[in-house]
Every structure is written in structure tokens, then in C-alpha cells.
Structure 1
Amino acid sequence: MSDDIVLVFDLETVPDVEAFAAAEGLENHPVWSVRRQMGEKVARQVFQRIVCIGSLRAGRDQAGVWRPQAIDSPSLGQMPEPQLIQQFVDQLAQHRPLLVSFNGHTFDLPVLRYRAMMHRISAPGLAARAYFDRSGSDMVDLCDLLSAQERHARVSLQELARVLDLPGKPPGIDGAHVETMMQEGRVAEVASYCRSDVVNTYRAWLRYELFCGRLERKSFETSEKALADFLAPQS
């Protein structure tokens, strides 16, 4: 276990019509009918199917600078959902990192746990640290933290990115578009979108570390430059 390694992550999901049908006893109903009964609001966590898992791993050097080590956003276009989950939880088991997310306690972690259980996946990496302890410090949920879990103080990642002068999401895309994009076969765009969320979350976390005094100004600026340099060959 080391707080010198951080893993920022984000899930992209679509409604799991089959799971909803099984839960509601609608197995014999047409797919379109079941999907309509799910409604247009975001489906509950247990009825979400993971289509992409984005992550950025960074390490802190002896000077206190955070330097990215890896970034990835594998999707259903590359591997089936069980493999997506297994690859991610194995990374947790290997590095036992500090986890960082935006709204992860409310959404991403519950989805991961439900889907791992549904696919009969052994995921000790999810228990490598007390990631599910909402009052603990092993999983930093910026959405919870910055709002102090006060509903009226919560913001979206896009709103936070804009007020912090970060790039934000690609134009014209948000989580509500992922289902349609997957249906249209735009899997690579979904993966790119997921990656942008991970980068924005990481940069927001660096800003929070500066605010808390855990990063000096110079170390913060060097950490930002290290990220830019790391991403430059990929753009």
C-alpha cells in the first residue's frame, strides 16, 4: 500500500436491459419494451453494464512531483466486460494505489462491485484498501469531498472543469450520449471521451492537493507540465 501511487479512474456504462428484465420478471418481453420501462433517467447502478474503464496511474517522485506512468481506456471494442473488470482490479491488487474519482462512491465503485459479482470475478484488488469506506481516505471522491456531501453544493465534472479553466469534455458529448454512441459503433469515441474525463479528474485532484498544501506551487506546476509532456505524444 502506497500513497506515492495514485490511480484516477472512470467508468462508461450503458443500461443493462437483460439485468433489468431479470430483476423485474420481464424476461419474455421484447427488448424495446423492457428498455422503455427502464425510462430515460440514469439506470440504477445494478442495472449498468460497463463498456469502458479509463484510468491514469501516476507516481510521486522524491521531489514531491506527480508524474504520470500510464493511461488507458480499454473498451468493449477491445475485450469483453469481464476482462475489462479483471484487468482493472488486477491493477489495484498489484499497486494498491490511492484511488481518485469523481462521483466514484455513488456510482463507479458500486457498479464495479455489482458487475464483478455478476460475472463471478475474483476481485481482491477491490479490497486491497478500504476503497468502499466513504469516511476513509483510501478513495478520494472529488464530488463528495468538494461538496462535503451536501446535495446543493455538488457540481458536475464538466462544471468543475470549466470553473477551474480545464479543457473539460469534448464538445457535444456527455454521459447521456454513450448509449447511442455504442449503438452506432462509435466505441473509439467513447474510449476517448472516457480518457478525457480521467485527465480532467486528475488535474482537478492536483489542484485540490495544491489547495490542501500537500503540493507546493512549484511542485504543482511541475506536475502539470509532467502531465502535458506525457500526453503530448498521444495527441
Structure 2
Amino acid sequence: MPETVLVFDLETVPDLSAVARVHGLDTADLDGARAKLGAGFPKLIYHAIVCIGALIAERLDGAWQVQALGAPHVGERSEARLITDFAARLERLRPQLVSFNGNGFDLPAIRYRALVHGLAAPGLNARPYYRRYDDAGLDLCDVLANYDARGRIGLDALCRAMGMPGKPEGIDGSSVADFVAQGRIDEVAAYCRADVVATYRLFLAYEHLRGSLSPDGFARSDADLTAFLARTAITGGDASATRPT
């Protein structure tokens, strides 16, 4: 079987109902829950997942080829279904899982949310994704910083420094909740896909850096991504025809 990689990213909003339950409030008391949540970064268990972006690629003939790209979201299915569908894909493919800050956020968040919903999601453990120093779950933010917070840099800044596209203008993680509240979930999904593509580009560069991709293989992998995005008309637009379920 060819090697398979799944690059992923989450978009989240505060789960005020969970905050209310923790603090003994009525779950309808959203203002009280917001006050308890405060202005800082919420604890991971309070991050309700609204979108899971994923890119699947296979290594063939010394280069990576994109098979699918998408970002299913809560406008289409429930948070619980997003998690179980994602876990089922991991269980079936058993891919290398690639993220940017996945160890610090995405992986624990998705596991906490599975617990909140009482889900069975064995695919999350199809490989040792939660073992920090195992390449089964490759966190590029962690690895490139040598597992030292002092060496970390944001995905957008790193991509732009490398001459690659960064994050889309006009939206970032802090504005996702407002976009969702305004019904602009498709824009959130497009933003999530853009983050996934940026992470995949960084993964290709890292594979080239460490000698796992030859210069020719790197060039062909990059050209394949460019062709895939052009063929499916994805520049932040719709990817429903290629969306992983």
C-alpha cells in the first residue's frame, strides 16, 4: 500500500453550555456563561468544533499526490458526527497525521470533545497519534521548534517568510465565532482549508529538508498540489466534490 498522510486543522467556538454546566448555571444563561468564560483563551474542553479541515495525500513514485481536500462543518452535520466521521477515516486509512500545533491544541481538543459527547472514536488511536515524539502524529510546530516554546513561530509568519501563501486576509482564529454567529460558516470552512493547504506545503518543505523527498520529488509534489487546486477550483472556495467524509 502507498504511504498516506492526512493533514488536518480544527476551527472552534466557545461551548457556553459546557461552561454553564461546569459552573452550576442554567444552560440558557449565556451571559452568565460568557462571564465565567472570561476574556482569555478558553480551556480546551470548552472549544466546540465547528469545522474539521483535512487533506489526504499518497506517496507514489517518490512524490506526494493529493487525493482529497475538504472541510466539513456544522452547517452540514453535528459536531459529534464531525468527530466520528474523522475518526472513522483515521481508522480506515491509518495515515500519518500531520498538523501545526496539533499536540498543543487540535489533538487534545478533539479527544475532549469526543468525551463531552460520549463518543466511541477508536480511530483516534489507530496509530500512536498522541505520543508526542512519534512521527505517527507529526506536529510541525513542535518539531521545527525542537519541542521548545521559545523556538515557535506562527504558521502564517513561517509560510510568508518562506515565500509561500499565508492565511487568508480578513479572518483568523479569533474571528471564527463571530463568523459562525453571522451564518458565515462557508467562509470559516474556506479559511480552514487554506490553513490545511499551508500546513501541507510546509510538510512537503520539511520532507525535502530532511531528505525524505528528493529535489525532483519535492518539485513534483508541489506541482501536483498546484494542479489539484486548479483542477478543483479551490483557492479558498468550495471543495465539496473532494471533501473527505
* Same structural fold, with TM-score higher than 0.5 when normalized by the shorter chain: yes
* Deviation readout 1:42-66 (Å, 9 max, x if unpaired): 21111110000000000000x2100
How many angstroms does 1:182 deviate by?
A: 0.4
* Deviation readout 1:16-51 (Å, 9 max, x if unpaired): 111111112223672122113212222111111000
Counterpart residue number, 2:64:
66
| Amino acid corresponding to residue 69 of structure 2 in structure 1 | I
Q: State the secondary structure of the residue aligned to 1:234.
A: coil
Match status 1:40 vs 2:4: no
How many angstroms does 1:14 deviate by?
A: 0.4
Match of 2:175 among 163, 174, 177: 177
| Amino acid corresponding to residue 230 of structure 1 in structure 2 | F
CA contact (8 A) 2:70 2:193 kept: yes
Tell which deviates more after alignment, 153-162 or 202-211.
153-162
Counterpart residue number, 1:11:
10
CA contact (8 A) 1:55 1:71 kept: yes
How many angstroms does 1:178 deviate by?
A: 0.2
CA contact (8 A) 2:20 2:32 kept: no
Cα gap change, 1:28 to 1:52, in 2 (>3 Å): closer
**Identity of matched residues, %:** 45
CA contact (8 A) 2:63 2:217 kept: yes
Q: State the secondary structure of the residue aligned to 2:11.
A: strand
Which consecutive residues of structure 2, in runs of 5 or more, have no partner in the other structure? Answer: 235-245
Aligned-residue CA RMSD (Å):
1.3
* Deviation readout 1:128-182 (Å, 9 max, x if unpaired): 1000000212100011001112112111111111111111111121100000000
| Amino acid corresponding to residue 149 of structure 1 in structure 2 | Y
CA contact (8 A) 1:3 1:98 kept: no
- Distance in 2 (alpha carbons) for counterparts of 1:16 and 1:30: 12
Match status 1:80 vs 2:78: yes
Q: State the secondary structure of the residue aligned to 1:131.
A: coil
- Distance in 2 (alpha carbons) for counterparts of 1:56 and 1:180: 26
- Distance in 1 (alpha carbons) for counterparts of 2:102 and 2:27: 34
CA contact (8 A) 1:169 1:197 kept: yes
Matches within 5 A, 1:204-215: 204-215=202-213
Q: State the secondary structure of the residue aligned to 2:17.
A: helix
How many angstroms does 1:119 deviate by?
A: 1.4
Q: State the secondary structure of the residue aligned to 1:10.
A: strand
Counterpart residue number, 1:227:
225
Q: State the secondary structure of the residue aligned to 1:137.
A: coil
Q: State the secondary structure of the residue aligned to 1:172.
A: coil
Which consecutive residues of structure 1, in runs of 5 or more, have no partner in the other structure? Answer: none
TM-score, with length taken from structure 2: 0.92
Match of 1:135 among 133, 136, 139: 133
Instruction: Number of aligned residue pairs: give it.
Output: 233
| Amino acid corresponding to residue 46 of structure 1 in structure 2 | I
- Distance in 2 (alpha carbons) for counterparts of 1:3 and 1:21: 47
Cα gap change, 1:40 to 1:120, in 2 (>3 Å): same
TM-score, with length taken from structure 1: 0.96
